[in-house]
């Protein structure tokens, strides 16, 4: 922990800090709590990089913390040799405040260290950055984004040579170099350099070609195109141009964009938070859908790696589908259609995270195909793809997804991709339209066929120093006082991913969990109800995931509500 008062004074008096930043710091001189929050520690560099509130301070996102992180990355690359330096780093950014500035600051630091940098000419989706790393043969990648967080946040994510978020072992090496770098003046910078190359349209074309190659039912799109209306909102983010281009390439004729949310806006002025998981972001889209007679609404988040949808139900009401529901729809659609037209690879593999619905597992089982579970975070899905690739089995990969609205078909990128997901969701809806079905109908059919699986996720936000400690306390308490029953059902299995141990409660037999260690706890009851607890890796939150299976939809919803209430009541008593 830093001496926050000394660090605050050091910034105020440093020759490396610009006058605007000093004015900002002077404005908080009488607010000790604010000074402490900004300077008590360095902004944490986790496996996903940095994410924080935009402001001056060591625990905030600003040009100084961006430069420091990039200097650490540069030292890591230099330590990897000249070939790594020559391969360079691809850099992209979204529509958030200072995203473009942070991107070019990062390029400046890399170039000053003799490392080639490729920077996109304007905002681009995160998955295109993943693609660009692979396409350009870069050693690493950087995306400036805070994904779906509120407007006060920005972030900095680092990607490895394979196009996936940097692996923990490599991120730790970068962190060791960051720790050697003084946040004020420790980073090299340069104003201009031949090592900085601006990229754009040529990469877009190759990326879109790879996205479009994942299409399955192009003929169905053409058949439905004249009467099929889809509403799309980019939520002021990076998806706008490329999503519309790929839908046009597919043959969609009636894609209606929500004008109020079409253009980049770092304030995200039409929403509280630009998160397509929240139905309230679709208010403008619903209005447009009514005007155009559409029954499908699609929205992508600011960096266009997540996608959310709303579907018209039988009562004429637009209802949101969860990430689990969309994932189940895509698994069923892709496996059934590709089986039908004989384009599935031998021994296909679907990958999901441990906090994602088991409905997907039942669907895969019904087709006789493999599903694999990984820890939360798309980088772990990327690792499975990489392992398949190393064995010459990359083509086995069919789909990867997580409950938090992230999906990837194809291996051209190694992160979730809302561009390809939007294309496939729209295609899927058009295909089922030719069969006289809506996506709502299809979801009902899936429940009838496989069972009424219902899931929910609740987050408790605990900000600041006290919040970090409280999250640790809750996790420690649950380890020392494990749940014995949930809603009257005995807990029969407890999994602690931090110790890599799964315990059969009845006989006390332990088994090894073959996944990397992670601060995650899982409880499974005799009737299959599951509760998972984990701290967020990117936000000041502790997350709770609830999974039930009911006899019918009403029973499943009642069980889910009861589990949700019981667990949160227990946790609230600890706060």
End-to-end CA distance of the chain: 24
* CB proximity list for 298: less than 8 A, separation 6 or greater: 230, 231, 232, 233, 307, 308, 309, 422, 425, 426
Say how many residues make up the chain. Answer: 575
| Catalytically annotated residue among 130, 147, 404, 518 | 147
Tell me the HSE value of 92 on the side-chain side, using a 13 A CA sphere: 27
CA dihedral 556→562→567→573, nearest 10 degrees, is 160
Residue among 395, 332, 337, 367 nearest 217 (CA): 337
Whole-angstrom Cα distance, residue 528 to residue 491?
9
Give kind and range of the element (H or E) at residue 473: helix 464-480
Q: How far is residue 454 from each of residues 97, 121, 199, 486, 528, measured CA to CA in Å?
A: 37, 43, 44, 16, 12
In degrees and rounded to multiples of 5, residue 296 shows phi and psi of -140, 130
Whole-angstrom Cα distance, residue 33 to residue 29?
10
For the question of residue 147 being annotated catalytic, the response is: yes
CA 2: distance to chain centroid?
30
Structural contact between residues 566 and 486, judged by C-beta atoms closer than 8 angstroms: yes
Q: Collapsing DSSP states into helix, strand and coil, what is residue 558? A: helix
Alpha helices in 166-235 (DSSP H): 168-178, 201-212, 218-224
| Residue given tokens 């996944």 in the structure block | 515
Strand pairing category for 117-120 and 196-199: parallel
Catalytic positions are 147
């Amino acid at each position: 922990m830093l001496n926050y008062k000394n660090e605050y004074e050091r910034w105020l008096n440093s020759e490396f800090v610009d006058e605007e930043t000093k004015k900002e710091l002077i404005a908080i001189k009488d607010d000790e709590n604010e000074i402490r929050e900004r300077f008590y520690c360095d902004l944490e560099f986790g496996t996903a990089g940095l994410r924080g509130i935009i402001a001056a301070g060591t625990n905030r996102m600003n040009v100084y913390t961006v430069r420091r992180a990039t200097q650490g990355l540069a030292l890591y690359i230099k330590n990897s040799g000249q070939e790594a330096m020559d391969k360079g780093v691809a850099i992209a950014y979204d529509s958030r405040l200072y995203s473009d500035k942070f991107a070019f600051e990062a390029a400046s630091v890399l170039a000053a260290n003799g490392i080639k940098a490729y920077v996109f000419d304007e905002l681009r989706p995160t998955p295109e950055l993943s693609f660009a790393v692979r396409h350009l043969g870069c050693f690493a990648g950087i995306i400036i984004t805070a994904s779906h967080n509120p407007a006060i946040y920005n972030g900095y994510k680092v990607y490895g040579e394979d196009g996936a978020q940097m692996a923990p072992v490599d991120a730790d090496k970068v962190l060791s170099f960051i720790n050697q770098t003084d946040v004020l003046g420790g980073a090299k910078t340069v104003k201009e350099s031949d090592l900085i190359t601006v990229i754009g349209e040529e990469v877009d074309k190759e990326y879109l070609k790879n996205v479009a190659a994942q299409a399955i039912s192009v003929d169905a799109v053409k058949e439905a195109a004249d009467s099929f209306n889809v509403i799309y909102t980019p939520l002021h983010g990076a998806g706008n141009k490329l999503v519309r281009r790929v839908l046009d390439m597919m043959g969609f004729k009636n894609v209606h964009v929500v004008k109020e949310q079409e253009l980049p806006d770092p304030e995200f002025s039409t929403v509280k938070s630009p998160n397509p998981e929240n139905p309230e972001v679709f208010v403008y889209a619903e209005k447009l859908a009514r005007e155009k007679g559409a029954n499908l609404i699609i929205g992508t988040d600011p960096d266009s790696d997540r996608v959310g949808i709303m579907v018209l139900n039988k009562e004429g009401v637009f209802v949101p589908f969860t990430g689990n529901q969309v994932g189940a729809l895509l698994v069923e659609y892709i496996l059934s259609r590709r089986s039908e037209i004989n384009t599935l690879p031998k021994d296909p593999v679907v990958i999901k995270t441990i906090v994602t619905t088991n409905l997907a597992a039942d669907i895969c089982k019904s087709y006789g195909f493999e599903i694999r579970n990984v820890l939360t975070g798309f980088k772990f899905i990327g690792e499975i793809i990489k392992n398949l690739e190393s064995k010459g089995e990359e083509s086995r990969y069919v789909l990867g997804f997580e409950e938090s609205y992230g999906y990837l078909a194809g291996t051209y990128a190694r992160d979730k991709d809302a561009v390809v997901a939007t294309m496939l969701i729209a295609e899927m809806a058009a295909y089922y339209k030719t069969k006289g079905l809506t996506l709502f109908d299809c979801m009902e059919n899936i429940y009838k066929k496989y069972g009424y699986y219902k899931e929910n996720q609740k987050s408790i936000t605990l900000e600041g120093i006290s919040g970090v400690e409280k999250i640790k306390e809750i996790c420690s308490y649950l380890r020392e006082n494990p749940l014995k029953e949930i809603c009257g059902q005995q807990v029969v299995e407890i999994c602690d991913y931090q110790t890599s141990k799964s315990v059969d409660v009845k006989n006390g037999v332990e088994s090894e969990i073959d996944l990397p260690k992670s601060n995650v706890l899982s409880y499974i009851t005799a009737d299959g109800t599951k509760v998972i607890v984990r701290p967020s890796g990117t936000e000041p939150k502790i997350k709770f995931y609830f999974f039930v299976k009911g006899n019918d939809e009403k029973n499943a919803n009642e069980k889910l509500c009861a589990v949700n209430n019981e667990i949160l009541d227990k946790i609230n008593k600890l706060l």
